[in-house]
Structures are given as C-alpha cells and as structure tokens.
Amino acid sequence: MSASDAKPDANSPASQDASPASGDTKPEEVTFSSLNLSAAVLKAVEELGYEQPSAIQAQAIPLLLGGGNLLGTAQTGTGKTAAFALPLLSKLKTSQRKPQILVLAPTRELAIQVAEAFQTYARYMKGFHVLPVYGGQDIRGQLRALSRGADVVVGTPGRLIDHINRRTLDLSELKAVVLDEADEMLRMGFIDDIETILSKTPKDAQRALFSATMPAPIRRVANTYLGDAQVVRITNKTSTVEKIDQKYLIVNSHQKLDALTRILEVEDFGGIIIFVRTKSSTVDLAEKLQARGYAASALNGDLNQALREQTINKLKKGVLDIIVATDVAARGLDVERISHVINYDIPNDNESYVHRIGRTGRAGREGKAILFVAPKERRMLRSIEKTTRQPLAAMDIPSGEEISGQRIQRFQDKVLETLQKQDLSTFRDLLEKIAHENELDMGNIAAALAWQAQQKTPLYPSIKAITAPTEKHKGRLKNTEKNKRPQRDADSDSRDTPRRDKAPRKPSPKGSSDKAISQLRQHPDVELVRYRIDVGNNHGASPGDIVGAMINEAGIESEFIGHIDMQDEHSTVDLPEGMPKEIFQHLKRVRVRQQAMNIEQVSNIGDQNRDKLVLKRTNKKRPKIDGAGKKRGDKKPRAPKPEDFS
C-alpha cells in the first residue's frame, strides 16, 4: 500500500510520477477494519457488507487519514467516492455549523450520488448533515439548508459560485476540498470556475483531486493548489474476456427479482453464480429463489471454510444449481459446470466485474454473463465496456410468451422422453377403458392429464409485461433550456441574470412534460388509469415535481406519464394500467415538496381521451363572497336562448 511522494511538475503528466499500479499492490490483504477508520464509519461500512477495499481505497484512505493531499488517477467505477468519503468522515467533527468538507462534481447526477454516499457512510454519526447544491433546483431551499448548517456540501461549480457570490456559502472553516472527475469538469468548460472556487478556500485545507486522465490544465491546477500531493494511480490491466457472451439488462431495482426469475425460466443453464453487493443480500436472494423452487444457496464471508467447501461441492455435484455470492466469497472459485454469471448488483469497480465474469468461460469453455443495470448506473456500464474493451449487448426482459414457449418445449421433451424410456402399455389399457366406458376421445383424456400435470407450473402463465427503462430517456426529465447552454454548468443559473431568488416557474404548454404527452400518443396500446394525489398548488408543487417523482420513485418513463391536472390541495395524474402493488404502496409514502402523495386510483380512462391530454395548472384564487351570497366579479346571467330548450 504505497503512494509515490513524487511531485508532479508542469512539464510531465502526473501519471508518470504515480505510485505502483493496482497490480503491484495487494488490496486483498487489507481490510476496512485495518485502515483506522472511526468506529461510526466502520460500523456503517460493515453493515453495508463491504468486505475488502478496492485498490484505490487501500492506498487513498491511509493517505487522507494522515492529512496529506492526494492526486488520484483512476477510472470511473474504481471506488473513488468511498476512497475520499470514508477517511474525511472519520476526521469530521459534527459540532460545527459551517461546512467542513466541499466536493466539486461536474453534474447534478454525480453530486446527488456523492451526497447519498456520504449520508450512507455517516448513518451512525449524530448530527451529521450533507447538502447537494446544483442548478435546476429552487435555490431558496438551498439557502435555507445552508443557513441551518451543513457539514458536507457537494455541488456543481456554477451553483457553488452563485452561493459564494451571494455570501451564503462560507468556506472559512473548510478542512478538506475534493475535486471529483476533474477531467470531466474541464471538458464541460469549468476550469476557470474550479480555480475561482479553490482560490477562496483556506490554504491549509486538505485537498484531493481525482481524474481519469491528466491533461495540461488539470496538471496546472494540481501544481497550483496540490503542489505537495502524493500521487496514486490505478491502472487498468484487465483485458477482454473473449469466450464470454456479455449482455446487460436495464431494470429498476424493484423489478430485479421478477426479471431474474424470468431469465432463469428461459435460459438453458448448468450452474449459475449470482453476484450481489452485500452479505445480507446473499441470504435474502437465496431464500427468495428457494421459495420459487430453485436449488440455491448463499456464499459469503460469514461462512466458515468447512461450510464454504460443502456449498461448492454441492454445486459441482449438481445438488445446487445456483449460488448467490459476494465478490470475496467467490474469489478463486472454479467449477466446470458454471455456465452463467449474473451480476444482480453492479460491482463497485470495473476490476471486480472482470473477476466476476471470469468464474465462467474458464479453460476455453464458453460462458454467459448478464449484468443488471439500474437507470442511474448507466455511467458505470460505459466504464465497464471501456475496461473490457468490448460493448455489452442489450437484452430484453423475457416476455410471458417466451416463458410459455420454454415451458411447452420442456413439457414436450419430457413427454417424448417418457414415451421412449417407459413401458406404457398398462396405462394405455387403463385410458382406453376410461374412454370406452365414458364414450370419450383419447385426445381429450390426454389434454385433461396434461392440464393436471402443469398446474404447479402453468404452460400458459398469465404474466404482465415489465416496462424496462429505455436508453433514450435515461430515467430523468429533459430540461430543454438547460441543454441549450454549451460547455457551461449544465446545472447552474445564467451568470448574466440578476442575483435574486427566482419565483417558481409557471408551466408552459411547450414544456418538457408536453413532450412526454406527445410521445404517449405514439403508444395507442397503453391503457391509462387516473390517480389522485394529495399534492397541489398550495404545497408549492409543479407538474415537473410530480413527473420527477414518478420517474425516480416508480421507474415510470416520462413518455408514459399523461394528463396532470393540478388543483389547490390535490392533483390528478394519468398513468399506465397495471401498476404493481408494491410500487403503488411505495408511492403512497413518497413526498413531493414535503407533502405525502397518498396516491389512490380514481377511475379508468378510455382511449378516446388520449388526444385531449393537456398539461395544465390551476392558479385561480377562490372567489370572495359578499354579504348577499353573490360571488364578487360574477357576470350577470344571460337571457336564455331558444336553442337552450331544443
């Protein structure tokens, strides 16, 4: 676990002065408990089921715990967030109101992801607060949160500068500054913003910079603000795994189990290893597969050597078909009959992915690897493709028709095998007797027997289609105005506008939600159901807030969200028919603008209403009533016309 003390100079890439690559270190010999993390942070890490640090974590954590500056060269997917979050949290004192850690991220998605990671790792730290700040979000909420105090602020450069200029972000007591994905911020045109922010941070604040590459402008920033930084470089030594058919599946978290069972139905497999992220997940998923009739067992670090060997032997002999394992538990596992590796949880780093899928396709044999990818994990997918140096093929969740076809084929094979291997003369005589006595056709009797045989596993199952997230929409709303800003902070407000709080934007009939409506008309086969939610104008909500909640919490693509009608105390929204019960119950608890949705179905909607979908928002105030009971401003009633009575 070494890191070079060499100082990067302006004339040579920092990567040349890097410490030994991950291949020269031995992170497998290091555990999180040996890294001197604080008790609260270590408890959270152990509860998450993390067993051993990745290469960059093994090198960066001791360095940052020691107070040194760090210049890290590592690709996305190597575990960088934990590499800086765990040591910095271990040194944090939560009694202060002003921010002590500042993290710069290129996009709002990464800022949110990093903030969530900090919150997860600090779950046992009392009084801890983390705040993500980015454009496209009402700045007034950020102002209130900053005034209350935050220990860690994670933000995009443009919005951070907005707060610095407003003097709402006080950097005077910062203990550490982290630049995450610095080369990506350079590509987006943030280099001047980065230098502006760094120039306003305390000179004695600890600094860490992470970048996949080290172009000249990043080297200049490193030399100016991290002159004494120790360099840690994680090089990618993995190569393409040629004989493994690699595929990926875009699937929401709540759909994973259903998608997995469908894959097991249609795939012709020998043995399978299913990789999950934590030890608790191995037991949970194995039990669920056992309940569905599969011979499955968990394999994790909590098993002693005897039980581990016993489980592996059962897999070799065919007593078990499926093992649900963590990375560490499956290290060195070589079983000839393993035909499939399924990454139920995407790995924490790219090296782990290569090691995982290497459990199949060994010794020149062919194998198959399937990767489950949540919508927010697409960046990890692209990083894995770069590591393996080959694209992964997309696959669809097996449909009910495919499952039915596979079951019928297996049923047919069993019938033919029985005809070939068994003496059926006694049973044929019995059936002929039944047919003669009851004047029945032998074909009808055979059909009745087939129906009885398939009751536990129906040949024609009634299975609802799963609508998987599409690559096109990437699971989030489009901001057309934001996308028009070239090479600037995609999440920041315009620099030319006055510095004042912005009022909530009024919905426009040409907004992004109208795009969803026009796309919905392209799906005439989608049946809609109208739902009522307890969120309205008086709660400060907008249609965009509701659409965002539906996308992020229910995994419903924007193109399938229809008519939204907002009232003062409630709203109605049209969604596709057949919402799973677990999603419906989850949405009841989801909050929009701090108000619980309490969603409930109102009525079904016919296709005739599809062309009338209009996004609207009611901002009318309630009419005042004068003493005579007449609404003020009411027009005089018109005289009836003859056609009124026709």
What is the rounded CA–CA span in Å between residue 643 and residue 646?
Answer: 5
What is the rounded CA–CA span in Å between residue 161 and residue 199?
Answer: 12
- The pair of structure tokens assigned to 302 is 């909590």
What is the rounded CA–CA span in Å between residue 231 and residue 17?
Answer: 7
- The pair of structure tokens assigned to 585 is 């119950």
Tell me which of 171-180, 301-310, 425-434 is least confident.
Answer: 301-310
Res. 641: pLDDT tops 50:
no
Contacts of 241 (CB under 8 A, 6+ apart): 354, 357, 358, 361, 369, 388
10 Å CB burial of residue 291 (0-12, 13-18, 19+) is exposed
The pLDDT confidence band at residue 29, using thresholds 50, 70 and 90, is: low
Res. 171: pLDDT tops 90:
yes
Res. 203: pLDDT tops 70:
yes
Res. 608: pLDDT tops 50:
no
Q: Which H or E run contains 48?
A: helix 39-48
Contacts of 467 (CB under 8 A, 6+ apart): 556, 557, 560, 576
CA nearest neighbour of 179 among 224, 141, 235, 148: 224
Residue bearing tokens 């230098």: 195
Per-residue pLDDT tens for 473-485? 333 333 333 333 3
Comparing 643 with 283, the larger pLDDT belongs to 283
The pLDDT confidence band at residue 504, using thresholds 50, 70 and 90, is: very low
**CA terminus-to-terminus distance, the chain:** 92
What is the rounded CA–CA span in Å between residue 490 and residue 185?
Answer: 11
What is the rounded CA–CA span in Å between residue 85 and residue 90?
Answer: 8
Res. 605: pLDDT tops 70:
no
CA nearest neighbour of 179 among 126, 120, 103, 230: 103
Q: What is the mean pLDDT of residues 572-597?
A: 83
Q: Work out the percent of the chain whose per-residue pLDDT is above 90.
A: 23
Contacts of 519 (CB under 8 A, 6+ apart): 558, 559
What is the rounded CA–CA span in Å between residue 24 and residue 351?
Answer: 14
Comparing 642 with 542, the larger pLDDT belongs to 542
- Does domain 14-233 fall under CATH 3.40.50.300? My reply is yes
The pLDDT confidence band at residue 464, using thresholds 50, 70 and 90, is: low
Residue 250 CA to chain centroid, in angstroms?
Answer: 10
Residue bearing tokens 């919150």: 119
What is the rounded CA–CA span in Å between residue 126 and residue 100?
Answer: 16
Q: What is the mean pLDDT of residues 48-71?
A: 88
Comparing 235 with 554, the larger pLDDT belongs to 554
Res. 27: pLDDT tops 70:
no
Res. 543: pLDDT tops 50:
yes
Q: Report the residue count for the chain.
A: 646
Residue bearing tokens 């010999």: 29
Contacts of 131 (CB under 8 A, 6+ apart): 115, 142, 145, 146, 150, 152, 153, 154
Question: Residue 442: how many CB atoms within 10 A of its CB?
Answer: 12
pLDDT number for residue 235: 66
Res. 340: pLDDT tops 50:
yes
pLDDT number for residue 278: 86
pLDDT number for residue 566: 87
pLDDT number for residue 207: 93
Res. 126: pLDDT tops 50:
yes
Q: What is the CATH number of domain 244-399?
A: 3.40.50.300
DSSP H helices, 180-251, are 182-187, 191-199, 216-225
Matching CATH number, 506-617, of 3.20.20.100, 3.40.50.10160, 3.30.1050.10, 3.30.70.330: 3.30.70.330
What is the rounded CA–CA span in Å between residue 377 and residue 618?
Answer: 37
Phi, psi (rounded to 5 degrees) for 325: -135, 160
What is the rounded CA–CA span in Å between residue 6 and residue 32?
Answer: 27
pLDDT number for residue 495: 35
- The pair of structure tokens assigned to 16 is 């040349």
Mean pLDDT in the chain?
A: 76
Asked if 551 contacts 477 with a C-beta cutoff of 8 angstroms, the reply is yes
Residue 289 CA to chain centroid, in angstroms?
Answer: 23
> Residue 189 — left, alpha, or beta (φ > 0 → left; ψ -120 to 50 → alpha)?
left
Res. 106: pLDDT tops 70:
yes
Q: Which H or E run contains 307?
A: helix 305-317
Per-residue pLDDT tens for 133-163? 988 778 888 999 999 899 999 999 999 999 9
What is the rounded CA–CA span in Å between residue 308 and residue 303?
Answer: 6
What is the rounded CA–CA span in Å between residue 200 and residue 178?
Answer: 14
Domains 14-233 and 506-617 share a fold: no
Comparing 387 with 162, the larger pLDDT belongs to 162
Q: What is the mean pLDDT of residues 334-353?
A: 85
Res. 611: pLDDT tops 50:
no
- The pair of structure tokens assigned to 134 is 């980015």
The pLDDT confidence band at residue 236, using thresholds 50, 70 and 90, is: low
Per DSSP (E only), the strands in 3-142 are 70-73, 101-104, 130-133
Comparing 644 with 62, the larger pLDDT belongs to 62
The pLDDT confidence band at residue 173, using thresholds 50, 70 and 90, is: very high
Asked if 532 contacts 599 with a C-beta cutoff of 8 angstroms, the reply is yes
Q: What is the mean pLDDT of residues 608-623?
A: 40
CA nearest neighbour of 301 among 332, 279, 322: 279
The pLDDT confidence band at residue 496, using thresholds 50, 70 and 90, is: very low
Asked if 489 contacts 157 with a C-beta cutoff of 8 angstroms, the reply is yes
Domain boundary assignment for the chain: 14-233, 244-399, 402-453, 506-617
Asked if 369 contacts 245 with a C-beta cutoff of 8 angstroms, the reply is yes
What is the rounded CA–CA span in Å between residue 475 and residue 356?
Answer: 27
Per-residue pLDDT tens for 247-284? 999 988 888 998 898 888 888 888 999 999 888 889 99
